[in-house]
Structure 1
Amino acid sequence: MSRIKNLLLPTNRKRRTLRIVLYSIILILVAFRIYLPFLLKDKLVAAVNEVEGYECTLGDLDLSIIRGAMVLQEFEIKVTENSVTKPFVYCKNADISIEWNAIFHGSIVSEVILEQLELYFADGKSEDEEQTGGTSWVEPIIDFIPLKINRFVINNGQIEFENMVAEPPVNLKLTELQLKVENLTNSTDLEEKLPSSLELTSKVLNKGNLHVNGGLNILKDLPDMDLNLDVKDVDLTELNEFTQAYANFDFEKGNFGLATEFAMLNGEVKGYVKPILQDVKVLNIKEDVPVLNTFWQAVVGLVFNITKNIPKDKTGTKIPISGNIDNPDVELGTTIVNIFRNAFVEAYKVKVDNTISLKDIANEQDEKTFWEKFKGLFTNDNDEEQ
């Protein structure tokens, strides 16, 4: 019996040792799992803070191993080279996770969902009071994400512009901003020139509505795109603080709308901007307004009246844009003609005309290539004769 016990002792010791090793590994893994969010938080904040002119603060960082997600809470970016106290970027929650739908298409990519993203811009009398920001702080964050971003979403975002030293103080906002960009890496292997889709909506100055939609291809060094944009029902009196501070006039009443198409292929652009003002009244004479200011408002009001389509009570034009993205050509002559076309022929409508596409630019580029080759034949012959 004692001999059997002696034979079992080494086995029992091995089991006990194995249990100790196993428990130690589990304890180390649990401790590492608890410590990892703090480690990642410190590394991310340190990486952004290395970018000159910016300071990052992060309330908390959570990990979800099962979901393959990292959540940044109360994320802020401040510009350190001015006296503006409000952060340039604030985000309540940034959810960075594996996009599981893309796995069914054979791609391992990520999606980023930002909740209550706020961007803040400021103007002032000096550079110290201005805040325009930049994008250099984004690079460390993108480098921090282990997978390429395929889907990008913003829920309930806001863009704010302020000038608190202006007379009167100016505050303009885009609110309730919703953005969804999908298939950025073409994880679905679409055989299209623009595999990615974009959809954006927002409230403009409380009552107006902004809508942008279209296609993108950001896989190229210079992205291709085909976008439609419209802005409707903007109450011009909501702009009075801005127009008084920057243009020295205000609106008594009126609405603003805008329709735009913009396409870009290989750096060549084509499109138009169609701004339209309706039911506008500028001059509102008040006793405390200086004479020169009253005269200027009268001039502005006269311009609106001269160029107005009287039956529709609309002032507008269509501004064609074309050429290379580095130096696009705005056709001033056509723009002026379109002002009077709106006034005396047919009033423009706040809607996209669907007259611009990538195909238009591609056809123009093909024509240029053909004529360059055609002229090249004669140029080469002349060069050989000389």
Structure 2
Amino acid sequence: MAGGVIEHRAYARVGLLGNPSDVYFGRTISFSLGNFWASVKLLPSKDLVIVPHPTHDLVQFNSLSHLVDRLQSDSYYGGVRLLLAICKIFYAHCKDNGIRLHERNFTLSYDTHIPRQTGLSGSSAIVCAALSCLLDFYEVRHLIKVEVRPNLILNAEKELGIVAGLQDRVAQVYGGLVYMDFDKKHMEEFGYGKYEAMDIDLLPQLYLIYAENPSDSGKVHSTVRERWLNGDKLIISSMEEVAKLPLEGRTALLAKDYTKFADLMNRNFDLRRQMFGDEVLGAMNIEMVEVARRVGAASKFTGSGGAVVVYCPDGAAQAKLVEDGCKAAGFAFQAVKVIPSVLNEEDDL
């Protein structure tokens, strides 16, 4: 494999229940979203080259005002920095764990179809796909445990100042539908959580709402983390309740009790809104949730905002009402495609 082109995809993810408790030693259920993905290509080469994307790593502009407008809409972010970071973290991990790497070089490039700023984990998808390419190029997939790989992805993003938890990376490494328990004792002992694959056929038909122009998303800094660390009783009790939702959700999905499942989805968002407040969540994000709820559908954020996952208990007719509401509000709406597990025989736990 090291002698030819290697290409991997990593898919967007949906936090179905329990977010954001993954960074508070909680639990989550997430799945891989087949509607959107990032891909990374590795080609053996004389020198080690990281190729900038012609759109996402733009360095040529029409004017100074064009440059400033671009920075205001997309910030300073691009994919090259993500590829550089995972290369560094991967090398350090192998060195620290006595994993020998050959000396051949490569050219790394990427593409992404995941809408920006939609809370669908676009950055971690690029990193995840790149890590898969490195594992195959250096033929070390069997030497780096599946449970550890989300940590490497997260560490690469932390290297760049991205604040996040393990949930997204676990969903993207494993694929499919995954139940996660970030029990504090287990995390402190092993460095990762307890991850359990679930049958994707347990899921009902779900839908996705997202903002194609998410500039109106919440931009006010959240104080939830500080309040949690300072022992705020409301935050601690609310986060504990959020962390219990996936336990109930797993039971509901296994029993195909979708009425209970819908209630849990709605409760997840309501607790988040109670903790973070409307200013932090942003008017556009709240409206995406409300578009679905006005016609009786269940809805919650897929992540921290920018996109919403929807369940329509009354079926296709109700989904059409949600779609009509989205069109009126200027939101994108589509049926969810769930990707099965992406692990292979070399990824045995």
TM bucket normalised to smaller: under 0.3
Larger CA Rg, structure 1 vs 2: 1
What TM-score comes out, normalization by structure 1 length?
A: 0.26
Higher relative contact order (CA 8 A, sep 6+): 2
More strand by proportion, 1 or 2? Answer: 1
More helix by proportion, 1 or 2? Answer: 2
